Structure 1
Amino acid sequence: MTNENVQETATPTPAGSVETVRKVYAADLREKDRVNTVFRVTKKEKVTARSGKVFLAMSLADKSGEVDARVFDKVDALEPAFQSGDYVLLTGSVIQFHGRTQIVVETVERLDPEPLDPKEFEPPPAPPPEAKAAAEAKPAPEARPAAEKAEKADARHEGGGGARAVGLIREIVTERVNDPFVKQLLVAFLDDPQVSAGLVVAPAAKGMHHAWRGGLAEHLLSVMRLTLRVADHYPMADRDLLLAGALLHDVMKVAEISPDKGFDYTDEGKLVGHLVMTAQKIREKTLAIPGFPPLLEQHITHLVIAHHGQLEYGSPKVPVTLEAHIVHALDSLDSRIASWLEAMQRDPNDKWTEVQRHYERQLWKGPVPTVRGRAPVEGGARRKSREEKRKARGDKAPQQGSVASAPAAEGAAQAPREEQPRPPRKERPPREERQAREERPPRPPREERPPREDRPPREERPPRDVSTLPKELTFKPFSTLTSIPPASKNGEGSSES
């Protein structure tokens, strides 16, 4: 982390001696920086997210201003260690959240304020509204210093996304894993000191894909999100096993690749490798979980040792379960896409990259020939915008057959129509000059029906004579009604009465 405005700050140690810490001011923090400095806590609040996860929300101050901070891990242990108004020595990573700088805190230590200068931690007074609006205005690109542009280009990936990715991974494990044994195993991995310390800064590879600090956590999070989508499409695959494989397949790269400059392989990484290290760690964690099913442990171990897909690629086993094949396919997809995008970003050409030695091919990086009209990455050689091309042609309309988006084409087609004047509407005469409508004749009144009492009474029927009714009723059998009578000699059928 390079900052010009850095001072030495004396902080007390537990034994009472004074330790010197480099002070980095809040105004100098940049995304993906690592922080190990002193602030004064101006606000501290325990918050429960909608997902049910509890975290600490803080505001930290020094003489340059204030910055937000969050504690996502070990909340119960760190929450009572300090209060609002205390001076604290903290470590963590800087991220951008909703356009604001934020520190994801990993460790917090309360300090004795006596050796500290209080003036270094008093935030400046709030500027007037006019000055604040001018300060928040975005500067023009040409006004930015060239050194700042070069620093931003060189530090595209310095690990700032790792801390945020770890928090999102933990949220998925907490909310989306249903099997209690699988959840306990994954939480045990995330709480493991070696994994929790290394996952924030570890790269996913030495140079092929996600080869930056924090790239491993971003890769694992991406594969976990892909498995959630695939599990919805293929419900016959077990979601919990897919999430377990997505998280664990590369997790022990925290011990295989060093996060220091150069991303060299460690001795354990060269001698053992992350597949075997993960299998060993799975056995260690499952033995500590009472009643963990052995068959479940074997399935999860298979997800890890088979995720390279083929024996010649380093897998001791090829995938033999549906979940293992899906994890292998998604891991390969995510790593390949990230590798291609990185190659396109570095390449200076317009349409085709240089031949990629690993893939033995050129990659298309130009805009797609659809109405979307966008390129996979924004970088490399700068392409002229449509407006610049139009000005270069002398403000002419796009030629027929050129690649243009549908909205632009519609705008060009509608321009001549707007210039044509509309015909005037036919004016209606004033209301008093309009011809009055002819009045309809009134309808004739309906003939009134005579009142009910004036109607003639109904004739009363004489009562029925009971003696005329038959005393017994006889019925023919149904078979006689449905039988066909025999034909007579003259061809006519006889009928019974």
Structure 2
Amino acid sequence: MAKQQWIGSLRRGDAILDFFAAQDKVLATTSDNQRRYLRLRLGDRTGWLPALAWDNAVQLYEAFDNGDIVKVMGTVEEFRGRLQIRVHKLRVATAQDRVDLHDFLPVSRFPVRELLERLDSVIDGVQNPYLQHLLRLALGPQGEAREAFTRASAAKEVHHAYLGGLLEHVLEMVDVARALCALHPEYTDPDLVTAAVLLHDIGKLQEFEQQGHGFAYTRPGELLGHVFLGARWVEERARQVPGFPEGLLEELLHCILSHHGLLEHGAPVLPRTMNAWIVYLADDASAKLNQVRRLYERAGSGGGDGDGWSEYDPRLGIRAYTGFAQAPQGETA
């Protein structure tokens, strides 16, 4: 059944009868402890909205699992200036419904074609012939990993966790890393840093797989992890480049192996060159800012208290305040 109603197009008063992804279900109780209700989020590839069900809350809570695609009958309401969905009926989608999972997969806000054009421009700008050969072998127009790279998520859920997320992540990192290299040109190799940035998470192509409308760990991902998988993959491809210098490969692998920065964060070794430090810092900056952006986006779709504060992120240890971003230009708090 073709999906007709999209989260991004819903307006107050709309009647809903369509399929949505369901997440974050909670069986809650009113503040006076007199009534139970179901709270959840409903979404598709265009966004998410909070949802509530007051009737048959316990039965509806037990009728589906987080991550299920559900058919919803309901109404779009407005609460504290934000849209939400009042759920009247809900059931899990069946094989007979023939839903298209791509309707529910989160995607990068940038078109894939635009990201690939940026990727090719970055690779063409690498002057070192060995590194450029390796990058074209891996990610160029005919590259072995290019197709998978365009679809890959950068993480299961923490940051850039959507189709095209990995490609978006590494291109953000390139911009950050080049700016950092320019601060210390006598101790950095921009070509090496660029190659390490583009390839540092290549192991995630083996670590994650698409599952339903999300991403799950593969067995090699669980057992070996993307840092090792990526370093092994890069070393094997570099050996295919005639005359690839051993010292260059050694530092490239070091940058990949140390890109988590800290042993407690999963790095098998600490960064010990300026180039490796830049790769780590660019990775951390891109990931953290994407986490904050996600808080902003979820606050905008009802994932907060409705007063400018986002939901709490346990990894960042904060709630983000979005009020300044929403203030008219020129207005001060």
Shorter-chain TM-score tier: 0.5 to 0.7
SS in 1 for 2:179: helix
Which of 302, 317, 320 aligns to 1:360? It is 317
* Alpha-carbon distance in structure 2 between the residues aligned to 1:325 and 1:147: 52
Could you tell me whether the CA contact under 8 Å between 1:195 and 1:252 is conserved in 2? no
Letter in 2 for 1:167: E
Tell me: CA distance 1:144–1:221, structure 2 relative to 1, closer, same or farther (3 Å): farther
Question: Which residue is 2:75 aligned to?
Answer: none
Question: Which residue is 2:331 aligned to?
Answer: 404
Kindly report which structure 2 residues correspond to 1:446-485, keeping only aligned pairs within 5 A, or say none: none
Could you tell me whether the CA contact under 8 Å between 1:163 and 1:200 is conserved in 2? no
Percent of pairs with identical residues:
27
Question: Which residue is 1:233 aligned to?
Answer: 183
Q: Does 1:186 align with 2:135?
A: yes
Question: Which residue is 1:254 aligned to?
Answer: 205
Q: Deviations over 1:84-133 (max 9, x none)?
A: xxxxxxxxxxxxxxxxxxxxxxxxxxxxxxxxxxxxxxxxxxxxxxxxxx
Tell me: CA distance 1:362–1:292, structure 2 relative to 1, closer, same or farther (3 Å): same
Letter in 2 for 1:242: V
* Alpha-carbon distance in structure 2 between the residues aligned to 1:142 and 1:363: 27
SS in 1 for 2:206: helix
Kindly report which structure 2 residues correspond to 1:78-89, keeping only aligned pairs within 5 A, or say none: none
Q: Deviations over 1:239-273 (max 9, x none)?
A: 10110111011122111111333300111111222
* Alpha-carbon distance in structure 1 between the residues aligned to 2:43 and 2:248: 50
Higher share in helix = 2
Could you tell me whether the CA contact under 8 Å between 2:105 and 2:163 is conserved in 1? no
Q: Does 1:157 align with 2:106?
A: yes
Cα deviation for residue 211 of structure 1 reads 0.6
Question: Which residue is 2:28 aligned to?
Answer: none
SS in 2 for 1:178: coil
Which of 121, 133, 144 aligns to 1:171? It is 121
SS in 2 for 1:232: helix
Kindly report which structure 2 residues correspond to 1:58-457, keeping only aligned pairs within 5 A, or say none: 151=44, 152-154=46-48, 157-158=106-107, 161-174=111-124, 176-191=125-140, 195-236=145-186, 237-261=188-212, 262-346=214-298, 347-348=303-304, 349-367=306-324, 374-375=325-326, 404=331
SS in 2 for 1:264: strand
* Alpha-carbon distance in structure 2 between the residues aligned to 1:274 and 1:258: 12
Could you tell me whether the CA contact under 8 Å between 1:163 and 1:214 is conserved in 2? no
SS in 2 for 1:355: strand
SS in 2 for 1:263: strand
Cα deviation for residue 143 of structure 1 reads 11
Number of residue pairs aligned between Structure 1 and Structure 2 = 242
* Alpha-carbon distance in structure 2 between the residues aligned to 1:311 and 1:272: 16
Larger CA deviation: 282-291 vs 150-159: 150-159
Could you tell me whether the CA contact under 8 Å between 1:166 and 1:199 is conserved in 2? no
Unaligned runs of 5+ in 2: 19-41, 49-103
Letter in 1 for 2:280: H
Cα deviation for residue 224 of structure 1 reads 1.2
SS in 1 for 2:281: helix
Cα deviation for residue 278 of structure 1 reads 1.6
Over the aligned positions, Cα root-mean-square deviation in angstroms equals 3.3
* Alpha-carbon distance in structure 2 between the residues aligned to 1:168 and 1:196: 13
Larger CA deviation: 190-199 vs 274-283: 190-199
Tell me: CA distance 1:150–1:322, structure 2 relative to 1, closer, same or farther (3 Å): closer
By relative contact order (CA 8 Å, sep 6+), the higher-ranking structure is 2
Unaligned runs of 5+ in 1: 5-29, 31-138, 368-373, 376-382, 387-402, 406-497
Tell me: CA distance 1:188–1:356, structure 2 relative to 1, closer, same or farther (3 Å): same
Tell me: CA distance 1:150–1:321, structure 2 relative to 1, closer, same or farther (3 Å): closer
Tell me: CA distance 1:354–1:283, structure 2 relative to 1, closer, same or farther (3 Å): closer
Could you tell me whether the CA contact under 8 Å between 2:295 and 2:311 is conserved in 1? no
Larger CA deviation: 192-201 vs 143-152: 143-152
Letter in 2 for 1:208: V
Q: Deviations over 1:296-344 (max 9, x none)?
A: 0001000100000011211111000001001101100110000111022
* Alpha-carbon distance in structure 1 between the residues aligned to 2:262 and 2:242: 34
TM-score, length basis structure 2: 0.64
* Alpha-carbon distance in structure 2 between the residues aligned to 1:147 and 1:187: 47
